[in-house]
Amino acid sequence: MPGDGPKSYPCCLCKRRTIPSERVAIKAEHLKLLERRFCVSAQNGDFLCSKCRLKCYREENKLKNLECIAVYKTQDDYEPPIKKARSIQQSSSSPSSVTLDLPTTSKSHAYCFVCKRPGPKIIVVPPTPRFDVYIRKAIFVPAGVRCCPVHLDGEQFTDDALDKIKPVSNEVNLSKTNIKLLLENGRSFVIERTNYRLDFDHTHALSDEDYLTLTGISKTEFDILMTYVDCCNLRETTTRSVRTCVAILLIKLRCGLSNNLLATLFAMKKHQVRRALKSATKALKSRFVPEFLGFPHIEREEVIESHTRPLAKELFTRTMTENPAILVLDGTYIYVQKSGNFSFSRRSYSLHKHRPLVKLMLVVTTTGYIVSVLGPYLADSKNSDANILNHMIRSNAEQMKEWVREGDIFVVDRGFRDSGEILNDLGITMEMPTFLPKGATQLQTKDANCSRLVTKIRWVVESANSRLKTWRLLDKTLPNTHIPSIGDYAQIICALCNKFRPPLSSGTFEKDIEIAAKMKFLARSSNELQTLIIDQGLDRRSYKWTPLDASEACPLFPQLSEDEIRELTLGVYQVKLARSYTQEHCSHDGSYDILVNSDVPMILSAKIQSRHISAKSYKLWIKYSCSIVEGWYCTCKNGSRVVGMCAHITSVIWYLSYMRHEASPFKGIPNWADTIEDASRIPTIDESDSDDPEE
C-alpha cells in the first residue's frame, strides 16, 4: 500500500528485526519446543534469528539427552555414566574426527620428528614403523611425518631412534580412517603373534637375552649368521620364514627340545619341524661351516701367529728359532640310546663308560680355537683314541697331511700312546703325560713335573669339550634317529663357537713367558722335602694322629692371598678342589678338623681323606717358615711334584694361609645328602615306653 515502509521479519523469540542472511524459518517440529521451553506461541511462516536458532538447537540436544537416560533407566543393566548417554547421542550424527588422550609426536613435514634436523634429505615414515612405535612406546606417530633415513632399519626404527622419539602433545585428533587402520593393524599384530609363538622375523619381538637363552647367540650374532645362509638351499615357505627355520635348528641344538615341543612353540606340525631342521642344517653346512671349521678353512701360519699361546711355545720348543704348530687332540663322547640292531649295539657299547655312545675327535689350538672336529666314530676297542688318530692320518682326513709339517707338536693324553710310531714317521712330536711304572704307587718327581707341563697346556681341549656340551642336544642321550646327523650338528656348533665365542685360554706375552720360565726351572728341580722324609723314615714312622682344629695346629703358618696361592699351584683347578676338600673337613661349628702330627718343628704333617675312596687317605707334609711355604710332599699319585702341587696339599695351605683369616665363615657346597633318605640310619626304639609287660 502506498506510504507503508518496507516489510519487516522480526524474530519471534527476541522480537529483533532480522536481515535475510540471519533469517531462519521455523520448522513444524520446533513449534512445541518454543512453546514448552520459551513460552512463545509461534506459527508456521514465522522466523528466528541465527542466535535464537542456536539456543533452540541446544535445548533440543538437552531434551534428547534426557530422553536417552529415561530409556536406559528402564533396563536392568543400566549404569548412568554421562559418557554412555553422550555416545548414544552422537550415534545419530557421528563426527568426522575424535580427540583422544594419547601422546603424539610432531606433525611437521619440514624437519625430522626424531632428531629435529630440517630437510630436504628426509623421507616419509611408512605405516609399519609408525605402528611399531605405538606398540612399543604408546606414542602415536601421525601419517605423513618425515624422518632421516638413518633412523630406519628396514621397516623398523633403530634402538637409538626409539630412545629419541618423544611426544610433543597429549592429545591426538583421529579420523575414521585412522581409527580403522589402527584397529586393523592391531588385529593383524595379535593374529601374527598367535600363529608364531616365538617370533624371529621382527627385530624387536624378542630381546637380546631371549636370543642368547634360546639360540646360544645374541641378536646381533644371529643377524650376522643369517648373512651366511644360502637362500638357494633355504627358501621361505607358507609355514615358516628363513629366519624361523634357522632359529628352530639353533633352539634344537641349544636347548635339546623334542620336535613335538618345537612344533608347539612355533605353531607348526611335527613333520614341518623335521623338514625345517633338515633344510637349515643343509644351508649352514654349505657355506657357514666351511668358512669357520676344518683344516682347509685356516692357514697353518695363522694358527701359529694368532692361535698359539707363548706359554706353549716356551714349554715345548728347545730353541727360539723353532716355530711349530701346536695342536691339542682329544675325543669326546655323545651318548645314544640302546639299539635293537645287535651288531651296532655291540660296536657302539663302550667298556670304559659302560653305556652305548659314539665318539667325536676334536683338534684345537692352545687358545681353544677349534681347528676341526671329525666323526662320529664307533666306541668299541677298534676305535680307541689312538686308532682314530691313525685313521685320520692314513685316510688324510680334510687334507690333514698337507696341513701339518715336520716339527709340529701334538699334545695328547695317555690314550694316544699307540700313535707314537705313525707320528714319528711324519716328524710330529707327541707330548703326553708319563705312565705310572708297573707296581709303583706314585710317579717320580721328574715324571710328575713333566706331566704337569703337559696338563698345563692340555686342559684347553677339555674345556672345548665342555663348551660343546653347553649345547644341550650333545649333552643328553640322543635318539638313534639323530645318529646320522650327529656329525653335522657337532660341526655347526663348533663353527658357531669359533665365530662368536672368545678364546678359552688367553694371557699376555710377558705373563706367559714368566710362567713358562718358572715351570721349566722347577721341572729340573728335585723334591727336597720328599728326600728328607724318606731318608729319616718319617713316612714309615708310627704316628699318633690327633684330631685338631687346623687353626690351632700351626699358629706361625704364613698368611697368603689367593693370588699368591695360585702362584704356588700354577693353576686354578687345585684351588677349586681345595674348597671341596676343606668343606669335608669342616665341622658344623666352622672349625677345620684334620688329623695332625707335630713331631718335626716347622713341618706340618696331616692326613686328608680321598674324595673317591672312603677307605683311602693320603699323608702329606708341608715345610714352612713365618713368611713363605718352602716345600711340600704328598703320598698321592702326583704328590711328589714341585711344579705346582696336588689338591690335598692345596686344601691345607688354602685354609691355613687364607680362609681362617677371613672375617666371614666358610660356606661350602650344599650337602644334598641331608635331604635324601639313608637306609643305614635306623632309628632306635625306646623299649621303656612300651605298655605291654611281656615286651
Quote the cell numbers at residue 450: 713333566
Q: Quick: pLDDT tens for 275-314.
A: 999 999 999 999 999 999 999 999 999 999 999 999 999 9
Which residue do the cell numbers 708297573 mark?
438
How high is the pLDDT of residue 84? 46
How high is the pLDDT of residue 521? 93
How high is the pLDDT of residue 472? 95
pLDDT surpasses 90 at 79: no
Higher pLDDT, 386 or 79: 386
Higher pLDDT, 364 or 136: 364
Domains and CATH numbers, the chain: 8-92 (no CATH), 100-195 (no CATH), 208-286 (no CATH), 292-511 (3.30.420.10), 526-675 (no CATH)
Q: Quick: pLDDT tens for 462-498.
A: 999 999 999 999 999 999 999 999 999 999 999 999 9
Query: How crowded is residue 81: how many other Cβ atoms within 10 Å of its Cβ?
Result: 9
**CB of 475 within 8 A of CB of 332?**
no
- The region that residue 590 occupies, defined by phi over 0 for left and psi between -120 and 50 for alpha, beta otherwise, is left
Percent share of the chain, pLDDT over 90? 48
Higher pLDDT, 463 or 174: 463
The per-residue DSSP string of 385-423 comes to HHHHHHHHHHTTGGGHHHH--TT-EEE--GGGGGGHHHH
User: How far is 151 from 227, CA to CA, in rounded Å?
Assistant: 22
Q: Quick: pLDDT tens for 609-663.
A: 888 888 888 888 999 988 899 999 999 999 999 999 999 999 989 988 888 888 7
Query: How crowded is residue 102: how many other Cβ atoms within 10 Å of its Cβ?
Result: 15
pLDDT surpasses 50 at 76: no
pLDDT surpasses 70 at 173: yes
How high is the pLDDT of residue 557? 85
Q: Taking residues 82-86, what's their average pLDDT?
A: 46
In order of 272, 458, 567, the CA distances from 578 in angstroms are: 51, 21, 15
Q: Taking residues 127-147, what's their average pLDDT?
A: 88
User: How far is 285 from 287, CA to CA, in rounded Å?
Assistant: 6
How high is the pLDDT of residue 2? 45
Most confident of the following: 123-132, 334-343, 601-610:
334-343
User: How far is 31 from 42, CA to CA, in rounded Å?
Assistant: 6
What letter represents residue 354's amino acid?
Answer: H
Query: What confidence tier does 273 reach under pLDDT thresholds 50, 70, 90?
Result: very high
How high is the pLDDT of residue 92? 46
Q: Quick: pLDDT tens for 185-241.
A: 877 777 666 555 788 887 777 889 999 999 999 999 999 999 999 776 788 888 889
Query: What confidence tier does 681 reach under pLDDT thresholds 50, 70, 90?
Result: confident
Percent share of the chain, pLDDT over 70? 87
Closest by Cα among 532, 666, 659 to 589? 666
Q: Quick: pLDDT tens for 139-165.
A: 999 888 999 988 988 778 888 898 899
Contacts of 183 (CB under 8 A, 6+ apart): none
Strand 146-147 with 152-153, pairing:
unpaired
Contacts of 455 (CB under 8 A, 6+ apart): 433
pLDDT surpasses 90 at 423: yes
Cα dihedral sign, 613-611-440-624: negative
Closest by Cα among 509, 113, 32, 560 to 305? 509
Quote the cell numbers at residue 694: 611281656
pTM: 0.74
Whole-number average pLDDT of the chain: 85
How high is the pLDDT of residue 588? 53
In order of 534, 599, 632, 639, the CA distances from 538 in angstroms are: 6, 10, 14, 16
Higher pLDDT, 677 or 328: 328
**Buried residues in 605-624 as b, exposed as e (16+ CB within 10 A):** bbbbbeeeeeeebbbbbbbb
pLDDT surpasses 70 at 177: yes
Q: Quick: pLDDT tens for 507-533.
A: 788 999 999 999 999 999 999 999 998
Q: Quick: pLDDT tens for 565-600.
A: 999 999 888 998 888 888 877 765 555 666 666 667
* Beta strands in 433-503, from DSSP E residues, in sequence order: none
Q: Quick: pLDDT tens for 338-347.
A: 999 999 999 9
- The region that residue 57 occupies, defined by phi over 0 for left and psi between -120 and 50 for alpha, beta otherwise, is alpha
Q: Quick: pLDDT tens for 237-257.
A: 888 899 999 999 999 999 999
How high is the pLDDT of residue 75? 47
What letter represents residue 227's amino acid?
Answer: T
pLDDT surpasses 80 at 695: no
